[in-house]
């Protein structure tokens, strides 16, 4: 089974998790980039949160549509913004030809209480992907870091070893 890890990261933690997962799974990695680069001001933070909260889709430099045809299993990673997935990941999920794919959605959040975080948004993605013929194997919620900080890979590895990752 060929596996890809696709992610967007603003502060680096989802990138760290994507790289750890890719190493463990022997997967290829694809980073989603937005056409319009986000700044780091308070205004950018508020705009980012508002965009996620209202389910925005951003324009991507590359949605990897052609590349994704080569993979059976996709790990798709998003930071949590306002308890939602981010606009870049929303756009990727919209454009994905999901039929027949096995999918794991993983998220990184600042709140260490990953189990109690609301998962309405992830469940909505799961339902929509399954309607399009994908099988969502699991929703993997990971603790990242506070906004502006980047998680250490050891912290991701510890969380993953507590909840065995498989294809």
Ligand X SMILES: Cc1cc2nc3c(=O)[nH]c(=O)nc-3n(C[C@H](O)[C@H](O)[C@H](O)COP(=O)(O)O)c2cc1C
Q: Interface with ligand X by CB under 6 A: which residues?
A: 9-14, 45, 48-49, 79-83, 108-111, 144-147, 150
- Smallest gap from Cβ 158 to ligand X, in A, equals 15
Q: Give the separation between CA 62 and CA 35, rounded to whole angstroms.
A: 9
End-to-end Cα separation, the chain, in angstroms: 8
- Smallest gap from Cβ 161 to ligand X, in A, equals 19
> In the Cβ-directed half-sphere of 22, how many Cα atoms lie within 13 Å?
17
Measured from each CB, the residue nearest to ligand X is 144
- Smallest gap from Cβ 70 to ligand X, in A, equals 25
What ranges make up the beta strands (E) of the chain? 3-7, 28-31, 73-79, 102-109, 135-143
Closest CA to 104 of 65, 71, 145, 151: 71
* Residue 48 vs 96, nearer CB to ligand X: 48
**SS3 at position 111:** coil
* Residue 12 vs 137, nearer CB to ligand X: 12
* Residue 17 vs 134, nearer CB to ligand X: 17
* Residue 83 vs 167, nearer CB to ligand X: 83
- Smallest gap from Cβ 81 to ligand X, in A, equals 4
């Amino acid at each position: 089974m060929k596996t890809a890890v696709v992610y967007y990261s603003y502060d680096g933690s989802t990138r760290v998790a994507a790289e750890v997962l890719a190493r463990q799974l022997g997967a290829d990695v694809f980073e989603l980039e937005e056409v319009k680069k986000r700044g780091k001001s308070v205004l950018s933070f508020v705009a980012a949160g508002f965009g996620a909260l209202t389910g925005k889709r951003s324009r991507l430099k590359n949605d990897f549509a052609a590349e994704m045809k080569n993979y059976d299993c996709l790990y798709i990673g998003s930071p949590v913004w306002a308890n939602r997935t981010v606009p870049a990941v929303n756009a990727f999920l919209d454009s994905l030809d999901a039929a027949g794919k096995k999918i794991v959605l993983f998220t990184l959040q600042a709140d260490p209480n990953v189990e109690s975080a609301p998962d309405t948004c992830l469940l909505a993605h799961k339902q929509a992907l399954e309607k399009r013929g994908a099988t969502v194997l699991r929703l993997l919620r990971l603790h990242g870091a506070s906004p502006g900080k980047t998680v250490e890979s050891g912290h991701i590895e510890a969380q993953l070893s507590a909840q065995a990752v498989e294809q």
